[in-house]
Amino acid sequence: MLDAAMQAQLKTYLGNLREGVELVATLDDSEKSRQTRQLIEQIAGLHDLVTARFDGTDARKPSFVIRRASDAEKWVRFAGLPMGHEFTSLVLALLWAGGHPPKVDADLIEQVRALEGDFHFEMFFSLSCHNCPDVVQALTLMALENPRIHATLIEGGTFQEEVERRDIMAVPATFLNGEPFYNGKMELAEILGKLDKNADAKAAEKLAAKAPFEVLVVGGGPAGAAAAVYTARKGFRTGIAAERFGGQLMDTLGIENLPGTPYTEGPKLTDRLKKHVGEYEIDLMDLARAVELRAAKDVGGYHEVVMANGATLKARSLILSTGARWRNLGVPGEAEYRNKGVAYCPHCDGPLFKGKRIAVIGGGNSGVEAAIDLAGIVGHVTLIEFDTKLRADEVLQRKLRSMPNVEIITNGQTTEVLGNGTRVNGLVVKNRANGDERRIDLEGVFVQIGLVPNTEWLRETGLELSKFGEIVIDDHGATSIPGIYAAGDCTTVPHKQIVVAMGEGAKAGLGAFDFLIRNEPAEEIAKAA
């Protein structure tokens, strides 16, 4: 099951075990169960502190429990094989069960341990989903730290019948005590925020206690990370307030156009950026969403940013790098059938549509790449492009046209997503040349039509925005308000690319540096007078 390299890697990790770990499997005579037995036997053979049993009685087969030998009440269960993107999750589950301390904020650990009540989580993942590991790992940690929290993590491809029965059409899909809890990526702090009624107040109190920053970066994508590194290197007290560190980068899988890096993946690049930020005295405030901007009255004074939890952060200079999100179609049925056949991440949700008919809307690079990837999984792909021709790179177009189960529609406008009340069963496409409408029967719709800047919260601030909602900046990254800079996909800079965002972040950081050295703090000016 594990090749020699993976076994060697795992053996090294298992050297960090401090106490015994038990693996208890429930198997049948299926091929997946045979593979699961092989995996468990390999793991147990790598370290004396790991033991394996095959007398489990769980309803799902194959499945196995990872539990602490000294405390059988603390366990996590995997149903199916946690390979692919989930191999790291498996490794962490073994280490945490074996007493190796998780690299998680101590306050969050204590919050997990203090939760009152019984919580039985079921979470469905796919092996190609790059958003799922965060949820898998968060629930794993919670289950191994609090005996009243149980987590069963289910590989949807192995339990396709259950996926169909529970109408799961997007992952990660999380259920709590048998009821839908959340569909989508969640960090540990977000889960705790939903379970702990006092979480928001605690977070607000912690943020409100922060001293004013010289530079506050709002947003933690490539632009925000670059900006923070540049200002911190100049010696300025720098903070990052990010709703989700990594931003859109976390939803990007294959990256092949970053100079010097032939290939990487969004989550991996995010981890490297986070590590780089951590090498400087940068105050990273994750899961902090800005909702209001109060610009300084005087040049050099403090700008204020109000967060969703009520806390207010102050800074002499701001760098806005709030990024962008996937654009919605805005047609009838889209919102109604979101996560019920309407999806936005082909890598995460594609495996749930194995053998089915789907449509990809959008003929740019993202849309064509999605169609290519999905064509290898689903039964048939219909690509719909609004323009008269595809806009993707020629190499991608050639690949797409070579695939036998793909239909390409250009000059087509999607006017409605159809469904039976519970899931998608078709869509309506209008021929823009003659106005004729056509119904396409299908089971899934993947929307890939570009981005919308995350700037709604800035509309009433006096900050100049373009007609598309982008922050207007000059060639130094400066906005229309002195001391406020902006960078990345939320701005008017052309070409929404990772490498461009990084460069723009660096430029905005240098712009903020120039502003700060040329303008004394307003309070010091007042004292001098």
Q: Which two tokens stand for residue 524?
A: 């010091």
Selected catalytic residue, list 134, 251, 349, 373:
349
Annotation marks residue 490 as catalytic: no
Q: List helix spans (H) across 80-176.
A: 87-97, 106-114, 132-145, 160-165
402: tokens are: 């070579």
The catalytically annotated residue of 129, 132, 348, 490 is 348
Which sign does the torsion angle of CA 77, 80, 86, 91 carry?
positive
Q: Which of 503, 511, 512, 513 is nearest to 226 (CA)?
A: 503
Residues in the chain: 529
Tokens of 239: 């903070």
Distance from C-alpha of 299 to C-alpha of 520, rounded to nearest angstrom: 9
Helical ranges in 344-491 per DSSP H: 346-349, 365-375, 394-401
Supply 515's token pair: 């502003």
Residues 6+ apart with CB under 8 A from 520: 300
What is the CA 394 to chain-centroid distance, rounded?
29
Tell me whether residue 132 is one of the annotated catalytic residues.
Answer: no
Alpha helices by DSSP H, listed for 402-469, are: none
Alpha helices by DSSP H, 98-198? 106-114, 132-145, 160-165, 188-195
Q: State whether residue 506 is helix, strand or coil.
A: helix
| Radius of gyration from C-alpha coordinates of the chain | 25
The first and second tokens of residue 357, run together, are: 């008919």
Of 129, 132, 345, 490, catalytic: 345
Counting beta carbons within 10 angstroms of the beta carbon of residue 297, is it exposed (0 to 12), middle (13 to 18) or buried (19 or more)?
exposed
By three-state DSSP, how is residue 315 classified?
strand
User: Is 348 one of the annotated active-site residues of the chain?
Assistant: yes
Contacts of 20 by beta carbon, 8 Å cutoff, 6+ apart: 49, 50, 51, 68, 69, 70, 98
- Which residues are known catalytic residues? 345, 348-349
